[in-house]
Structure formats: structure tokens, C-alpha cells
């Protein structure tokens, strides 16, 4: 079955730690995205990537980092510089960034700082 | 600056009746609009979309209407079913010119509850 897999589903982080959220897709999509959902604020774009070895900052990139070494994978690292990391994180992919097609989402990772 | 707004945080509808969810946008460069449905602790699933060259798109019980002059779109669900109860997000992107790279701008979401 083709799709996007995010892991883990739940993640707990101590203050000052970096954590990495995994996102893997087998849809052969070029474009991948990371969004963050907070209550009452919809989804906000953190980072996006159109092709391997290239990525761009979204609207709220501070405190986050990404890599795109393989087409299938787009991991997100939440660093200790992120002031309010507790949120629901969603990864998405799309055939290409330029087409009028929908983005497909993973099931999300709930990150909680303890 | 909230470029996509869903001004109704919640909507309650009786089963079998019509649900109308509204969305307003401010960016005139947006040329492709989408509706997603989301359950708690899950990723959004795509429902229906519309290009700015159209004013209506229909898919089964779901119809999206676009009024470009008013910068307004709406999602109609007829007839509404209890299984439609979820959060609905409106999203928009500006594909023309190739500068948006498919980035979606989302509204805040509307919680739809369909009562049996």
C-alpha cells in the first residue's frame, strides 16, 4: 500500500533535548512538507522540499531543522531552540510542488515536552 | 496575517440536512483551493478541490463553490451523515508562477457535528 508513514505516533522530550520525527513516503512524490498543528490555529508550514538535497523554510522554521537525502524520507528535528515544541506534527507529500493536485498527509506525531 | 479564515469554529447539523462550511481568503494569488477532513490525532484526508478557473466542483455528497470576486468558498455536504462529524479545513495555494511550490495555507478549521 502506498502512503506516508510518520513515526513515532507519540514522543516525549525533556527540556533541552533535540528529537527527530520520521517521515517516509512510498508514493514517489517529489515534494514533501512539514506542518505543525496547534489548537485553534490550523496547520502552519515549518519546512518544505521540492527535490532531494533541497529544502526551504516555511512560516515557522525557527528551532527546527530538516534534511532530504533521499526522495522517500524527510525527517524533522525539533531542537532545543524551539521555545514551544509541544504540538501535533504532520508530514505531507505531493506529486510535485507545481501541480494542481492534493497533498497526502501522514497520521501525525504528537510531541510533548516534559 | 491570516490569509485563509474560517470564521465559524463549529457547526451543528441534523442528520439528512445540509451542512455549509465557509472559508474566506485575502491573497488574490491563490488559484487552487482544497478541503480536508480531519479526525482527532489523525492526519487530514483530502475531500475535494477547485481551481480558480471554475466556480463549482461536485463529488457525490460534497460540492465546493468558489466566488472569486468575494474571495469566498464554501463546502456543501448533502445529505449530512453522523460519520461526517470531524474538523474541516479549508486550504489554498498559489501554483501559477511556480513560486509557491505547492505550499498550502490553511484556515483554522471548523468542527462539524452531525446529530442523528
| Angstrom distance (rounded) from CA A65 to CA A21 | 11
Of A40, A97, A102, which is closest to B101 when you measure between CB atoms?
A97
Those residues of chain A that have pLDDT short of 50 are none
What percentage of chain B has pLDDT greater than the value 90?
86
What mean pLDDT comes out for the span B110-116? 96
Query: What pLDDT, on a 0 to 100 scale, did the predictor assign at position B2?
Result: 80
**Whole-number Cα distances in Å, B41 to A87, B56, B91, B115:** 11, 31, 19, 22
Query: What pLDDT, on a 0 to 100 scale, did the predictor assign at position B100?
Result: 67
A104 to B46: CB separation less than 8 angstroms, yes or no: yes
Strand A10-13 with A109-113, pairing: parallel
Q: What angle do CA A101, A104, A106 make, to 5 degrees?
A: 170
pLDDT, tens digit, for every residue of B21-56? Answer: 999 999 999 999 999 999 988 999 999 999 999 999
Query: What pLDDT, on a 0 to 100 scale, did the predictor assign at position A1?
Result: 65
Query: What pLDDT, on a 0 to 100 scale, did the predictor assign at position B58?
Result: 98
Residues on chain B bordering chain A, Cβ-to-Cβ distance under 8 angstroms: 4, 6, 9, 32, 34, 36, 41-46, 49, 51, 89, 91, 95, 98, 100-109
Query: What pLDDT, on a 0 to 100 scale, did the predictor assign at position A111?
Result: 95
Grid cell in block for residue B97: 508562477
Chain A interface, mutation test: which of B25, B42, B102, most A Cβ atoms within 10 Å? B102
Query: What pLDDT, on a 0 to 100 scale, did the predictor assign at position A41?
Result: 78
Query: What pLDDT, on a 0 to 100 scale, did the predictor assign at position A108?
Result: 96
Query: What pLDDT, on a 0 to 100 scale, did the predictor assign at position B98?
Result: 61
Number of Cβ within a 10 Å radius of residue B59: 10
Give the minimum alpha-carbon distance from A106 to chain B in angstroms, rounded to a whole number.
5
pLDDT, tens digit, for every residue of A19-43? Answer: 999 999 999 999 999 999 998 778 9
Contacts of A41 in chain B (CB under 8 A): 108
> Among B10-14, B31-35, B41-45, B96-100, which is the least confidently predicted range?
B96-100
Grid cell in block for residue A57: 523554510
Query: What pLDDT, on a 0 to 100 scale, did the predictor assign at position B99?
Result: 63
Query: What pLDDT, on a 0 to 100 scale, did the predictor assign at position B41?
Result: 86
Which of B52, B62, B65 has the alpha carbon at shortest distance from B86?
A: B62
Contacts of B45 in chain A (CB under 8 A): 105
A52 interfaces chain B, CB cutoff of 8 Å: no
| B95 has pLDDT over 80 | no
Amino acid at each position: 500500500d502506498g502512503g506516508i508513514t510518520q513515526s513515532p505516533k507519540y514522543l516525549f522530550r525533556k527540556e533541552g533535548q533535540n528529537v527527530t520525527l520520521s517521515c517516509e513516503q512510498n508514493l514517489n512524490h517529489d515534494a514533501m512538507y512539514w506542518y505543525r498543528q496547534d489548537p485553534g490555529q490550523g496547520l502552519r508550514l515549518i519546512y518544505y522540499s521540492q527535490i532531494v538535497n533541497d529544502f526551504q523554510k516555511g512560516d515557522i522554521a525557527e528551532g527546527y531543522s530538516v534534511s532530504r537525502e533521499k526522495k522517500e524520507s524527510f525527517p524533522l528535528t525539533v531542537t532545543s531552540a524551539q521555545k514551544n515544541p509541544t504540538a501535533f506534527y504532520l508530514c505531507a507529500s505531493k506529486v510535485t510542488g507545481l501541480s494542481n493536485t492534493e497533498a497526502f498527509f501522514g497520521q501525525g506525531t504528537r510531541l510533548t515536552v516534559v | 496575517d491570516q490569509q485563509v479564515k474560517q470564521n465559524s469554529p463549529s457547526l451543528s447539523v441534523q442528520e439528512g440536512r445540509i451542512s455549509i462550511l465557509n472559508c474566506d481568503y485575502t491573497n488574490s494569488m491563490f488559484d487552487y483551493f482544497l478541503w480536508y477532513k480531519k479526525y482527532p490525532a489523525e492526519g487530514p484526508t483530502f475531500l475535494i478541490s477547485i481551481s480558480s478557473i471554475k466556480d463549482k466542483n461536485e463529488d457525490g455528497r460534497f460540492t465546493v463553490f468558489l466566488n472569486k470576486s468575494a474571495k469566498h468558498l464554501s463546502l456543501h455536504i448533502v445529505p449530512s451523515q453522523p460519520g461526517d462529524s470531524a474538523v474541516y479545513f479549508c486550504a489554498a495555494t498559489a501554483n501559477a508562477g511556480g513560486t509557491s511550490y505547492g505550499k498550502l495555507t490553511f484556515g483554522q478549521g471548523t468542527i462539524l457535528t452531525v446529530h442523528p
